[in-house]
């Protein structure tokens, strides 16, 4: 019996795994915003007539346009009517309270002066992707603001830097209370203290981002812009590099442990952690009128009347006839027939394959490969280095967080030249003189390509089987 053909037949004949049913999704999330004005400014919303609500904070449903009123902005009798298009929202997840991370919409005195001069001030707000974050320190309750050439360019840049959230315009024409209420769909504005709203009478008018995607096979796909991801081994795999204790392929966000046994040098990554502290950015565009058009009534009316009858006869000089091609017939015999049949079923395995085989006719060619490394044994932890933070769920930019690293030797061989390296991501700033180690070690901190730091501990002596150690240090969320 051909064992290889029998194995292939049994594999193909297996039924396809049933699709994973999509989980129950939460209701459409609100995007919470806060509007800051010069001292004494007042924000008034008109969700419906005759109701009005004065509040600088509100929750807005994504996909709807809004318009509100600002007054008492340091200019006597000045009232302006900004508008908002909500194009995105935060995706709820464990440890992330979306109500504590509103988009900070700011109208400065300069913005108001420009609007009063007849200019249109547009700000495009986006949720910054932590993997592409600007290497600058942020401030709590403030967006990183920069200029842009046009609204179209600002929208494109916002999508490149993260997730588009809001488009805010200041400088539009005045509006009555009736017009403001007509532009705000009932059931879409959640004010502080309210717990629920009625279902909006109309669906969203604008496309928006921040939707939870559920694949029918692999399940839910989470969004990544809300959280700072650090640890593990991302990108080219970290491996022993040149020089004593050198590590190659150590990219920003990587956290690894390198050691040497009688089998050679190895590098093992830590687990990956998430710090869910969103940071927002804004791109500002200022548009000025470049001209005006004036319409004048006609000063005179001139009426022309055509003659009753005009006849012309012209002898044709040339006649050209054209006929469209109706078809093309060619005679050529087919030189061959090619057909392809894909696999009837596909199964995926994780980890390295224990064997590779191919079938050619009735012959079987197989190649067996042994494991490249052994990092743990039954009953031991699968991670040689573990990473976690305290507090587990920080909430604000500028907050200090303690990072813990625990490393251990779960093998039966002694380890030498043990090095722990942590390359911090852009939005984590190492606080000097906070690194501590439970075992004697040589500590070095050097800059990395993300404008942050690489922290490296060379552990003294040997790490015997079953022994472990801990490292702690503090970082500030930027």
| pLDDT digits 0-9 by tens, 362-411 | 444 444 443 433 333 333 445 799 999 999 999 999 999 999 999 999 98
- Window from 60-74, 242-256, 290-304, 310-324 with minimum mean pLDDT: 310-324
- Check whether residue 256 and residue 121 sit in a common domain: no
Which of the four pLDDT bands, split at 50, 70 and 90, describes residue 220? Answer: low
Task: Tell me, yes or no, whether 137 and 79 share the same domain.
Answer: yes
| Least reliable range by pLDDT among 13-17, 270-274, 330-334, 469-473 | 13-17
Closest CA relative to residue 125, chosen from 75, 72, 63, 169? 169
Domain boundary among 212, 240, 261: 212
Radius of gyration over every alpha carbon of the chain, rounded to an integer in angstroms: 33
Handedness of CA 256, 277, 135, 281 (dihedral sign): positive
The token duo for 318 is 């040339």
> Is the model's pLDDT at 461 over the cut of 90?
yes
Residue 317 lies in a domain: no
* Residue 268, helix vs strand vs coil: strand
407 burial class (0-12, 13-18, 19+ CB within 10 angstroms)?
buried
- Please tell me whether residues 400 and 439 are part of one structural domain: yes
pLDDT tier for residue 153 given thresholds of 50, 70 and 90: very high
* 187 in a structural domain: yes
pTM for the whole thing?
0.74
264: left (phi over 0), alpha (psi -120 to 50) or beta: left
Domain count of the fold of the chain: 2
How far apart, in whole angstroms, are the C-alpha atoms of residue 388 and residue 398? 19
**Domain match, 143 and 267 both:** no
Q: State yes or no: cis peptide before 391, omega within 30 of 0.
A: yes
CA 144 to chain CA centroid, Å, is: 16
Q: Which tokens hold the place of 447?
A: 């800059």
Give the sheet arrangement for strand 65-67, strand by strand: 65-67, 83-86, 162-170, 120-128, 280-287, 144-147
Top-confidence residue, 316 or 455 = 455
Region 454-458: mean pLDDT is 96
Q: 210 or 137: whose pLDDT is higher?
A: 137
Average pLDDT score over residue span 268-291: 90
450 within some domain: yes
Same structural domain for residues 150 and 240?
A: no
Asked if the model's pLDDT at residue 300 lies above 60, the reply is no
The pLDDT value given to residue 284: 97
Query: What's the pLDDT score for residue 325?
Result: 52
pLDDT band at 91 (very low <50, low <70, confident <90, very high): confident
Structural contact between residues 2 and 35, judged by C-beta atoms closer than 8 angstroms: no
Query: In this structure, are 272 and 417 located in the same domain?
Result: yes
Q: Is residue 302 part of a domain?
A: no
Q: Is residue 25 part of a domain?
A: no
Q: Which of 226, 200, 203, 223 is nearest to 103 (CA)?
A: 226
Residues 254 and 164 in one domain: no
372 CB-near residues (< 8 Å, 6+ apart): 352
- How many Å apart are CA 161 and CA 225, to the nearest integer? 10
% of residues, the chain, pLDDT over 70: 72
For the domain that residue 436 is a member of, what is the CATH number? 2.60.40
Lowest mean pLDDT among 16-30, 121-135, 285-299, 427-441: 16-30
Nearest one of 96, 477, 55, 121 to 283, comparing CA atoms: 121
Strands 189-190, 385-390: pairing kind = unpaired
| DSSP three-state, residue 2 | coil
Whether the Cβ atoms of residue 64 and residue 86 lie closer than 8 Å to each other: yes
| 368-380 per-position pLDDT tens digit | 443 433 333 333 4
Cα–Cα distance between 430 and 68 in angstroms, integer?
42
Domain around 78: 31-212
Average pLDDT for residues 227-235, to the nearest whole number?
92
Pairing of strands 400-408, 468-477: antiparallel
CA distance 156 to 161: 9
Give a yes or no: residue 298 inside a domain.
no
Q: Is 183 left (phi over 0), alpha (psi -120 to 50) or beta?
A: alpha
Q: If you average pLDDT over every residue of the chain, what do you get?
A: 80
Select the more confidently predicted residue: 293 or 86. Answer: 86
Tell me the average pLDDT across 328-348. 48
Query: How far apart are alpha carbons 417 and 140 in whole angstroms?
Result: 42
Q: What is the mean pLDDT of residues 156-161?
A: 95
Residues 150 and 242 in one domain: no
> Which residue carries 């464990």 as its tokens?
94
205 part of a folded domain: yes
CA distance 171 to 121: 6
Same domain flag for 252 and 203: no
What was the pLDDT predicted at 364?
Answer: 42
| Confidence (pLDDT) at 292 | 55
Domain identity same for 393 and 269: yes
Spatial CA neighbour of 284 closest among 452, 75, 124 = 124
What average pLDDT does range 344-359 have in this prediction?
43
Q: Per the structure block, which two tokens stand in for 106? A: 């700011």
| pLDDT above 50: residue 244 | yes
Block residue for tokens 């606080």: 431
Residues 108 and 234 in one domain: no
Please tell me whether residues 250 and 194 are part of one structural domain: no
Q: 404 pairs with which residues across the strands?
A: 388, 472
Is residue 2 within 8 A of residue 362, CB to CB? The reply is: yes
Q: Looking at the domain assignment, is residue 326 inside a domain?
A: no
Residue 194 phi, psi dihedral angles, 5° rounding: -80, 145
């Amino acid at each position: 019996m051909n064992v290889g053909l029998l194995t292939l037949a049994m594999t193909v004949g297996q039924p396809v795994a049933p699709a994973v049913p999509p989980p129950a999704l939460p209701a459409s999330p609100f995007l919470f915003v806060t509007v800051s004005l010069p001292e004494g400014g007042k924000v008034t919303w008109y969700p419906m007539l005759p109701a009005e609500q004065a509040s600088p904070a509100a929750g807005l449903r994504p996909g709807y346009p809004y318009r509100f009123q600002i007054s008492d902005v340091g200019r006597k009798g000045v009232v302006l009517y900004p508008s908002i298009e909500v194009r995105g929202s935060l995706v709820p997840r464990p440890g992330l309270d979306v109500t504590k991370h509103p988009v900070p919409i700011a109208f400065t005195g300069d913005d108001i002066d420009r609007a009063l001069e007849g200019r249109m001030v547009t700000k495009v707000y986006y949720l910054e992707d932590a993997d592409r974050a600007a290497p600058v320190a942020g401030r709590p309750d403030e967006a990183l603001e920069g200029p842009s050439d046009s609204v179209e360019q600002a929208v494109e840049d916002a999508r490149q830097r993260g997730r588009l959230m809001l488009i805010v315009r200041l400088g539009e024409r005045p509006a009555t209370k009736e017009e403001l209420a007509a532009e705000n769909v009932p059931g879409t504005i959640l004010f502080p203290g309210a717990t629920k709203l009625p279902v909006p009478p109309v669906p969203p008018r604008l496309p928006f981002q921040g939707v939870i995607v559920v694949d029918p096979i692999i399940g839910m796909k989470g969004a990544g812009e809300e959280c700072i991801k650090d640890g593990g081994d991302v990108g080219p795999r970290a491996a022993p590099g040149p020089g004593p204790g050198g590590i190659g392929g150590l990219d920003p966000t990587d956290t690894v442990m390198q050691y040497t046994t009688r089998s050679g040098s190895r590098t093992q990554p830590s687990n990956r952690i998430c710090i869910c502290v969103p940071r927002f950015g804004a791109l500002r565009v200022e548009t000025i009128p470049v001209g005006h058009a004036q319409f004048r009534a006609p000063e005179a009316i001139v009426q022309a009347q055509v003659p009753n009858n005009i006849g012309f006869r012209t002898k044709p000089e040339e006649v050209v006839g054209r006929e469209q091609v109706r078809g093309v017939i060619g005679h050529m015999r087919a030189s061959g027939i090619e057909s392809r049949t894909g696999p009837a079923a596909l199964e995926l395995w994780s980890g390295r394959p224990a064997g590779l085989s191919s079938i050619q006719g009735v012959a079987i060619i197989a190649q067996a490969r042994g494991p490249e490394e052994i990092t743990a044994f039954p009953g031991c932890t699968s991670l040689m280095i573990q990473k976690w933070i305290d507090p587990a769920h920080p909430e604000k930019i500028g907050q200090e967080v303690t990072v813990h690293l625990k490393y251990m030797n779960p093998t039966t061989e002694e380890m030498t030249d043990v090095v722990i390296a942590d390359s911090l991501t852009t939005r984590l700033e190492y606080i000097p003189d906070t690194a501590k180690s439970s075992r004697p070690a040589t500590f070095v901190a050097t800059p990395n390509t993300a404008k942050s730091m690489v922290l490296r501990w060379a552990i003294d002596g040997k790490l015997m089987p079953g022994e472990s150690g801990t490292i702690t240090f503090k970082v500030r969320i930027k």
